[in-house]
Amino acid sequence: VDNISKALHKCGYQMRGFETMYNGHTGRRLN
């Protein structure tokens, strides 16, 4: 989990993944 958290943070996302994600093809929000 720590490695994934660090990778997210390095890419500009919050470390724990509390971001709204969207499908790149449909534009629909992921649950």
DSSP letter at 8? H
pLDDT in tens, 13-23: 888 878 888 99
- Is 22 in a helix, a strand, or coil? strand
What does the alpha-carbon distance between residue 19 and residue 5 come to, in Å, rounded to a whole number? 13
- pLDDT of 1 > 90? The answer is no
Mean pLDDT for 20-28 is 93
The pLDDT of residue 28 is 96
Mean pLDDT taken over the chain: 90
The pLDDT of residue 10 is 94
The pLDDT of residue 7 is 92
Q: What residues are paired with 4 via a beta bridge?
A: none
5: Cα within 13 Å, side-chain hemisphere:
5
